[in-house]
Amino acid sequence: MNSFQLKKTLLTSFKWILICFLIGIFSGSASAFFLVSLEWVTQIRLHNNWIIWLLPFGGFLVGLTYYYWGESVVKGNNLLLEEYENPKKVIPFRMAPLVLFGTLATHLFGGSAGREGTAVQMGGAIADQFTKIFKLDNSERKILIILGISAGFASVFGTPLAGAIFALEVLYFSKINLKSILLSFLVAYAAYFTVEFWEIKHTHYSIPVIPQLSFNNIIFTIIVGILSGFAALLFARSTHFWSSLFSKNIKYPPLRPVVGGIILAIAIAGFGFTKFSGLGVPVIVDSFSNTSQWYDFLLKILFTGFTLGAGFKGGEVTPLFFVGATLGSALSILIPMPIALLAGIGFVAVFSGATHTPIACTIMGMELFGIAPGIFIATACTIAYFSSGSIGIYKSQIVKGPKYKLYQKLRRKELQNL
């Protein structure tokens, strides 16, 4: 390598390191502000339960803002996936404030939604702005989108390893080069430490008792993994079903969350289903020590799918944690394993099945619960990944890898038997 090439390599490396730190700082700060704001609106709702009756009004505000200013970014996470697969134009920065407002309004008035989608969209929108600043081409834009997803995920959950791997895995490893992998980890930690700098606290979970690794316990874990995969499949299909139903029957988009809000307000406030509004973190925490009702995970699937399908904003991941943790907790009645372990396994396994990211979910499980239950978590995440079907929560995600090959093989056998 001559001196010119060395200088060019060093300048390129410095450029990308600088980009990573800038994205990490800006995305991490955005997530920190979002988490503080989310806690604030959640406390307002918890101390004023009557506000849930205003959910149709909140839905109308969300619907109007996206109808008049957010048509180009209404696809949310799917837009990030589409731009990665087929880069066309820079994602408008307005995605960040719009999804922030929409999510806060959804949680303030009691809709059932998460927070991952918001952080990832803010991270993606922030990251893609550097396309113009550094005059990057389409192949480099792909790296930016990976960095935005990584920064958003890592910062909102406090799991930098899982965030970095999730950004790579959700877009499928085979199309990603070594540079993307290294930069994804760098930006994840930059965003994570930015949130730490702002002294934002994340929820802590604990699995105090880990049973011995035995044949019976592995079989039980496989059963939990299969059921988690089915729950993930039901969650994804539910969200897509309600979205399609609202789109077909209500042509004016701002009215969709109004109608949805009326139904949700009656169900949540009128029938006392308040524990299914918002993130549901207290229910998740409780599921690690107390047996959940068998129907809790089903109702969370129903309320979240309906909320997001009606046009409210937020993520799917924390509701998936709710679904998985309460499913695992409820199974403690039938499966002779520690309740906290079952809740923890379900927590990440349902997420694995719904996003087709078993590696990231395994890493997340060990980041949240420690290395000790790692073999149980890895087994359940892998089984859930294979048993959750080919359609996940992200319509634009291109499913490849082992699952894709398995389904293709099974499909060929079906055609041969016809």
In 3D space, the residue among 313, 334, 333, 330 whose CA is nearest the CA of residue 322 turns out to be: 330
Residue 141 has pLDDT above 80, yes or no: yes
Minimum mean pLDDT range among 5-9, 20-24, 96-100, 317-321: 5-9
Nearest-angstrom CA–CA distance, 226 and 388: 8
In this prediction, residues 373-399 reach a mean pLDDT of 92
In 3D space, the residue among 263, 277, 326 whose CA is nearest the CA of residue 46 turns out to be: 277
Nearest-angstrom CA–CA distance, 28 and 338: 35
Q: Which residue has the higher pLDDT, 137 or 414?
A: 137
Nearest-angstrom CA–CA distance, 146 and 384: 24
Minimum mean pLDDT range among 62-76, 215-229, 401-415: 401-415
Dump pLDDT digits (tens) for 84-97: 989 889 999 999 99
Residue 418 has pLDDT above 80, yes or no: no
Please report, to the nearest 10 degrees, the dihedral formed by the alpha carbons of residues 145, 356, 288, 213 taken in order.
Answer: -120
Write out the two tokens for 274. Answer: 């308040």
Write out the two tokens for 25. Answer: 């700082």
**Percent of the chain predicted with pLDDT > 90:** 87
Mean pLDDT of the chain: 93
Q: What angle do CA 71, 79, 384 make, to 5 degrees?
A: 130
- Give the architecture (CATH level 2) of 215-403: Orthogonal Bundle (1.10)
Dump pLDDT digits (tens) for 227-245: 999 999 999 999 999 999 9
* 14-197 CATH fold: Clc chloride channel (1.10.3080)
Dump pLDDT digits (tens) for 44-63: 999 999 999 999 999 999 99
Q: What angle do CA 385, 389, 391 make, to 5 degrees?
A: 105
In this prediction, residues 115-141 reach a mean pLDDT of 95
Write out the two tokens for 312. Answer: 């409210």
**pTM attached to this predicted model:** 0.95
In this prediction, residues 252-280 reach a mean pLDDT of 96
In this prediction, residues 111-139 reach a mean pLDDT of 96
Dihedral sign for Cα atoms in the order 68, 393, 107, 243: positive
Which pLDDT value is given to residue 398? 73
In this prediction, residues 163-190 reach a mean pLDDT of 88
Dump pLDDT digits (tens) for 338-374: 999 999 999 999 999 999 999 999 999 999 999 999 9
Which pLDDT value is given to residue 175? 64
Nearest-angstrom CA–CA distance, 145 and 152: 11
Which pLDDT value is given to residue 406? 61
Domain ranges, ordered by start, for the chain: 14-197, 215-403
Q: Which long-range contacts (CB under 8 A, 24 or more apart) does 263-267 make?
A: 263/306, 264/55, 264/110, 264/111, 264/112, 264/303, 264/306, 264/307, 264/310, 265/52, 265/53, 265/54, 265/55, 265/56, 265/110, 267/303
Minimum mean pLDDT range among 79-83, 86-90, 216-220, 394-398: 394-398
> Which helix or strand (DSSP H or E) is residue 194 part of?
helix 178-197
Domains 14-197 and 215-403 share a fold: yes
